[in-house]
Structure 1
Amino acid sequence: MVRNRSLRYVSHPEKGIEPAVHFKLVDDEIDLDNAPLNGGVLLKTLYVSSDPYIRYRMRDPEVQTFCPPIQLGDPVDNGGAGQVVRSEDPNFKPGDYVAGYLEFAEYSVYPGRIKHFYKRPLRKVQKLPNVPLSIYLGTLGMPGTTSYQGIKYFASGRLKTAKTIFVSGGAGPVGTFVIEYIKVLAPHIKVIASAGSPEKIKILKDVGADVAFNYRTEDTAKVLETHGPIDIYWDNVAGSTLDAAVKNSSTGGLIIACGAISQTSHDANSVVRNFDEVFKRSLTVHGFVVFQGESAVVVPKFHEEIIPLVAQGKITSREHRYHGLEEAGKALADVHSGGNTGKAVIVVAEE
């Protein structure tokens, strides 16, 4: 028997995430040789991901929204990477590296007891030279896929004529991917990007943003007025930033609504006041959720196209690492306060 530590979800938040209130570390034991697999696999967890959308999962199950709730008492689960310890599935053997929707636990059986529509089949992943397996949580995982799906499906036809794109929340894994991918597909486009600290402004410049500004110290509307109009707006935050973007969009512009982090904690100040500009400027607004809807048709080509760009250094990765499940609650909270710089990755065990 060995220890199997997990992070359990124990209380619904009303606003922000408080790790000591909403999560609890639990130490169980597991028999690695005899734990029932029921046709599945036993995994050793190496990495799990912290992403802003998890806050939407932290709710009463009676509240309906785009993602499944986490049940009280269950381990938190999200995108992760691990290694097969034992298998009853003919598609996997011990030692295989895999990625999937993993529990925040040192060991778990996949697919196991927890089932929901985000928990897709486990997949083998390629271990790239000199690249940590955690890249499958960020650049080659859900954040990268999100960026690819949105740009490839909604913006491909506009990139030849567009002159300016604005990316809010630009220093996170979705934003940096969007910036670098745009520079690959359409290097003529001017990229404006916002973030909330000097360290993150440096990231924006490093990944190719032509105009990088701190929304905490500069007026977003004035920056966009100076450097716009905006032909494409990639929205990660909604709220007052979306207000400024629609007011400074070109006629016939495109808004890709990927996230609304300003509204995840039900902040009354995060309302949008200028939405009448959508009809005044004949704007097109496309909202989407990764792996879902008509835009997901492009996803099967994601790794085929992007792994070579990663190998060439054209799409890069930055991580903010949290060590051990003891730091997982902090990782889940930090992505809402700007406490992380780079993709938030929880290291459960070393590769």
Structure 2
Amino acid sequence: MVANKGLIFKNAPDAFPIIGEHLDLSTDPVDGTLTVQNLLISFDPYQRGCMRDPDSATWAPPSTPGEHLPSGAVSKVLKSRVPSFHPGDLVWGMFSAEEYSIVPSVLLPPVRKLENPLNLDLTLFTGALGTSGLSAGGAGQAVGQLAKLEGLRVVGSVGSNAKLDFIVQELGGWIFYYDNVGGETLDVALGHMKDFGRIVSCGMVSQYNLPQARKYGLKNGMNIFLKRLTIQGFIVSDPEFVGPYEGRIKTRESVTVGMEKAAT
């Protein structure tokens, strides 16, 4: 029987998750009907949102204390009693954050064979082509490139008041704003949108690790109706928004080796 290191959710944190208190490592044997070895696992901002007490939210279920965190993964099939999968197949699916996973029947529908005719680096399927890149975590490096390919002038967020003044005073207001930060960054955007502008939101990472009392309250919310703005949120399981931009998107991936380092 193979030993299996995994990342266990213990209980919901009020702020930043602490190893040993909110997350822990497990070592369990693995055996089952469809058994996979997880070669690459994606750790994404949405997982922090899953570390919560039970509720009726529909975007993703809360994590269950004592069970592994769910994660998008590129995996190799080791054993299968499912006709569509065979040992040695590379697959992508929502598996548990562990070295090996038994895939229950409820998680089989989203599992798909990994089609890679261009022989791309497999890390891309947990980054730019996975949960992270198609929604929040790794989208920042891609969304500006997608906008440029559509003929738009792109302005990114900046790290100084001088640069902010340049954007606001010399470049004018914003027609489109793509947000995965929230908080003060979103508030600034609301303050400088043009009439009938559009905001796309796929995350608010600046707020995830703050207790409710410390989360930022928007001050420019009135501009939503004063400027007749349209705000659309989406998550990765919604229908795809990205078009075919073969070979024209550049990305960088951050890789951590070893399950024991996954939560650090």
Output the TM-score relative to the length of structure 2. 0.90
Distance in 2 (CA, whole Å) between partners of 1:107 and 1:98 is 13
Work out whether 1:284 is the aligned partner of 2:227. no
Distance in 2 (CA, whole Å) between partners of 1:275 and 1:62 is 26
In the TM superposition, what is the alpha-carbon distance from 1:263 to its structure 2 partner?
2.0
In structure 1, the partner of 2:19 is 19
Return the match for 2:32 from 32, 36, 45.
36
CA contact (8 A) 1:238 1:260 kept: yes
Query: In structure 1, what residue type is equivalent to 2:126?
Result: L
| Gaps in structure 2 of 5+ consecutive residues | none
Distance in 2 (CA, whole Å) between partners of 1:141 and 1:66 is 17
In structure 1, the partner of 2:100 is 107
In the TM superposition, what is the alpha-carbon distance from 1:63 to its structure 2 partner?
6.4
In the TM superposition, what is the alpha-carbon distance from 1:130 to its structure 2 partner?
5.4
Q: What's the Cα RMSD here?
A: 2.3
In the TM superposition, what is the alpha-carbon distance from 1:49 to its structure 2 partner?
0.7
Q: List per-residue Cα deviations over 1:30-57 (Å, max 9, x = no partner).
A: 3xxxx331xxx21011011111111110
Q: List per-residue Cα deviations over 1:210-258 (Å, max 9, x = no partner).
A: xxx22xx436753541333101000111111111111111111111122
In structure 2, the partner of 1:323 is 257
In structure 2, the partner of 1:244 is 188
Q: 1:179 to 1:6 in 2, by over 3 A?
A: same
Distance in 2 (CA, whole Å) between partners of 1:316 and 1:257 is 22
Q: List per-residue Cα deviations over 1:139-182 (Å, max 9, x = no partner).
A: 111233337xxxxxxxxxxxxxxxxxxxxxxxx51111111111
Q: 1:145 to 1:129 in 2, by over 3 A?
A: same
In structure 2, the partner of 1:138 is 127
Task: Tell me the matched-pair count.
Answer: 261
In the TM superposition, what is the alpha-carbon distance from 1:60 to its structure 2 partner?
1.2
Q: 1:81-230 to 2 correspondence within 5 Å?
A: 81-111=74-104, 120-127=109-116, 129=118, 131-146=120-135, 173-186=138-151, 189-194=152-157, 213-214=158-159, 217-218=160-161, 222-226=165-169, 227-230=171-174
Distance in 1 (CA, whole Å) between partners of 2:215 and 2:64 is 29
Query: In structure 2, what residue type is equivalent to 1:191?
Result: V
| Gaps in structure 1 of 5+ consecutive residues | 148-171, 195-212, 331-351
Query: In structure 1, what residue type is equivalent to 2:45?
Result: P
Q: Percent same amino acid among aligned pairs?
A: 31
Work out whether 1:233 is the aligned partner of 2:151. no
Q: 1:228 to 1:126 in 2, by over 3 A?
A: same
Work out whether 1:305 is the aligned partner of 2:252. no
Output the TM-score relative to the length of structure 1. 0.69
CA contact (8 A) 2:199 2:230 kept: yes
In the TM superposition, what is the alpha-carbon distance from 1:93 to its structure 2 partner?
0.9
Distance in 2 (CA, whole Å) between partners of 1:322 and 1:222 is 37
Q: List per-residue Cα deviations over 1:243-282 (Å, max 9, x = no partner).
A: 1111111111111122111222235252111111111212
